[in-house]
Each structure stands twice: as C-alpha cells, then as structure tokens.
Amino acid sequence: MSEQIPLARPELGEREEALVLEAIRSGRLSIGPLTERFERDFAAWIGVEEAVAVSSGTAALHLGVRAVGWGSGDAVLTSPLSFVASANCLLYEGAEPRFCDIDPVTLNIDPEAAAAAIDGAAGLLPVHIFGYPADTLALEALAGGRGIPILEDACQAIGAIHADGRYVGSRGNPTAFAFYANKQLTTAEGGMLVTAAGAAAQAARSERNQGRSPSMEVMEHVRLGFNYRINELEAALGVAQLERIDDTLVRRAAVAAAYQQRLAEVEGLTLPCPDRGGERRSWFVYVVQLPEDADREAVIAGLAAAGIAAKPYLPCIHLQPYYRERFGFRGGEFPVAESVAARSLALPFFTAMTGSEVDRVCEALRAQLGVAP
C-alpha cells in the first residue's frame, strides 16, 4: 500500500534542533532571551515596532480584544466562516460577535455586508481566511468613519500582503498570529500579538504573565492577567522557522500552483481564488469547494481508502452547537458562508509536499468525483 499522505506535516530541521538544544542547555525555559529574540525578529520582519509572543493564536486574540477595550454589551462585527477562536475571544470579555456574510470569491468578510450591519457595532474583527488578505483598507474606511477599532485575525496569514504592498499586520491595527503545527511557521503551539508600541505592548506582556509588573523584579501583580506565556523551547522553534520564512512561503506557493494546474479543468470544482491586484495570499491550507452534487463524506472516505487525508474545512461558527444554543442562530442567515462551508474540503498541503504527492491526491480526487484523468 502507498504511504499515507497526511493533511499537514511541519518541516523541522537541524536549525530547530540546535536552537532547542541551546534553550535546554541554558536552563532558562521560560521568558528568556529566545523569546525576546523571536519577538524582535518577528517585529522586524513584519515591519512593526512591537510583537508580543504568547502561548497560542487564541491567547493573542484574547489579549487583542483587551487591548482595544471591547467588553460587556459590545457587539463586534466579524466573519461566520472562521475557526471558532475568532468569535470565542470576544465572549471571554463579555462582548458578542455580530456576523455578516462573506465575499464568495475571497471568502473574507464582505465590506458591503459589513457596511449594512455595522450600525451600533463597537468594532470590526476581520479574519484573513485561508491566508488570503481581507479587504482591510475598505474595512478601515468603514471603521474610521465611526471611530471604532479593528482587531485583525491573521492566525492563518503570516506573510500575506495587502493591495498597497504592506504585510498583513503592519497597518497599525492590533493583529493576532498563530503558530500551530500546521501553520506556515510553527512553534508547535504559540502565537504573537502585534500591537502599538509603548503602553499597549507593555500591558500585553504583563497580561500574558499573570499581570505581573513588566520589570519582573518583584512578585507584584499590577493588573488582571493570564498564563499565556510562550516557553523558550517554542520560541527557539520560532526563531529557526522565521529565519527561512521567505523560502517557506515560496515553496508553499509552488505546491498550491501545482494543485491549481492539475485541478483547473475539473468541472464544478471551485479552487482557491488567485491573487488579485497587489494582494498576495500566504498559503496556509489548500481548500477546494466540491461540486454541489458531490457527497463530501463519501469523497473523504474514498480518499482515506486511498491513503489520503482530507477534512471538511471550515464549519460556520454561528451553526456550531454552542452558538446555536446560546444565541439562537439558525441556518440560512448567512447563505454565502453556509454554502461555502457545506462544500469545502481541505486537501493535504505542506511545505515539503512533492509533485508526485500532489499528483496522487489529484488523481484520487478526480476518481471520487467521477472525472477521467
């Protein structure tokens, strides 16, 4: 039987091993020099003054919510097509998500839908879904006219570029990144909050460490905080991964291009949208939308029988059981997002994926859809 092709596979090498060993030998396993180096290198690469390393993308989002001041009674406009953390982070502080529908091409929050739903909202939380940059410029114009803040969820989008040529996360809005094992850059677990310099960064560093005084000289807790620290072993992985992030993004784009070429003529199959204008996707996953008459579960089972992992990606947040029960959401409220979610399928995708592996996945998918080679 052919070797299994996983949905994702992190790429770790000698540099990661060397830096992790350096951390172990240092005896400093938390809040040490590698964490500071990772933050400094990340901020320099994105082009911002401050970056605060934390334990996960979810932690970064939560601290971002606190940084912009959303709380009890605040409604925040966001996308229903996302990983659940982009809405959960609002609930942690007593705010609530107000969903609006998505653009059928980019799959990001639709600025026109946002404009129709923004009255009374306390802010915007756009998600750069599947690594494609949301139309942040349009959303900034919308928010700026009302004097409300934006928190960007770039947990899937490190290295994505806006139409104006700037990296996602570099426009001055607090922005959360994530480094889970399937991400473009991984620290196993971990995240980063890009925020304004000065007081905001100082507060985030304090909050990630149980609210302790930033000086760390005394056991003094100056604010409510959390255990959101990244450790030195994770930071070591981050430093190593960041050293070659540009090459990683190029290689992932090449894997995506191979998929695009091999699946371009499959009738009824919707592929990820190409870059438009100056916008550039950072390839996180490769997600297709199956033909409307396809049985997704049967396709997944057929691929699994061929040794190929695949996964529905992503279900709509508002239709998750908890959100249905708490807020009374129902099907049909956001038809574009719901249609995309019902047809979406994540195929194997990782930096070191070979052309022969892409061929094998595409041949198996064609077979499951009844399409001749």
Q: In this predicted model, what pLDDT tens digit does every residue of 18-30 receive, in sequence order?
A: 999 999 999 999 9
Quick check: helix, strand or coil at residue 170? coil
Predicted confidence (pLDDT) at residue 214 exceeds the cutoff of 80:
no
Q: Give the mean pLDDT of the chain.
A: 96
Q: Which residue has the tokens 């803040």?
A: 149
Return the closest-CA partner of residue 259 out of 13, 2, 5: 5
How confident is the model over 212-237, as a mean pLDDT? 90
Return the closest-CA partner of residue 83 out of 49, 40, 23, 131: 131
Predicted confidence (pLDDT) at residue 1 exceeds the cutoff of 80:
no
Predicted confidence (pLDDT) at residue 87 exceeds the cutoff of 70:
yes
The total of other beta-carbon atoms located within 10 Å of residue 371's CB is 17
| 268-288 pLDDT, tens digit each | 999 999 999 999 999 999 999
d(CA 160, CA 21): 31
Residue type, 196: A
Q: What is the pLDDT of residue 372?
A: 62
The total of other beta-carbon atoms located within 10 Å of residue 166's CB is 17
Predicted confidence (pLDDT) at residue 167 exceeds the cutoff of 70:
yes
| 322-372 pLDDT, tens digit each | 999 999 999 999 999 999 999 999 999 999 999 999 999 999 999 999 876
Q: Are 42 and 238 in contact (CB under 8 A)?
A: yes
Predicted confidence (pLDDT) at residue 197 exceeds the cutoff of 90:
no
d(CA 161, CA 164): 8
Torsion of CA 155, 205, 139, 49, to 10 degrees: -100
Q: What is the pLDDT of residue 169?
A: 97
Return the beta strands (E) in the chain as ranges: 50-54, 75-78, 96-99, 123-125, 152-153, 175-178, 191-195, 286-289, 344-347
User: Dihedral of CA 319/323/324/329: which sign?
Assistant: negative
Supply 258's token pair. 């191979």
183 as an active site residue: the answer is yes
Supply 146's token pair. 């009302």
Predicted confidence (pLDDT) at residue 116 exceeds the cutoff of 60:
yes
d(CA 236, CA 188): 11
Predicted confidence (pLDDT) at residue 128 exceeds the cutoff of 90:
yes
Q: Of 62, 66, 162, 183, which one is the catalytic site residue?
A: 183
The total of other beta-carbon atoms located within 10 Å of residue 292's CB is 10
Q: What is the pLDDT of residue 23?
A: 96
In Å, how far from its chain's centre is CA 353? 20
User: Dihedral of CA 132/135/137/141: which sign?
Assistant: negative
How confident is the model over 296-323, as a mean pLDDT? 97
- Per-residue confidence band for 196, with pLDDT thresholds at 50, 70 and 90: confident
Cα Rg, the chain, nearest whole Å: 21
Residue type, 33: P
Q: Which residue has the tokens 């507060």?
A: 203
Predicted confidence (pLDDT) at residue 373 exceeds the cutoff of 80:
no
Q: What is the pLDDT of residue 219?
A: 83
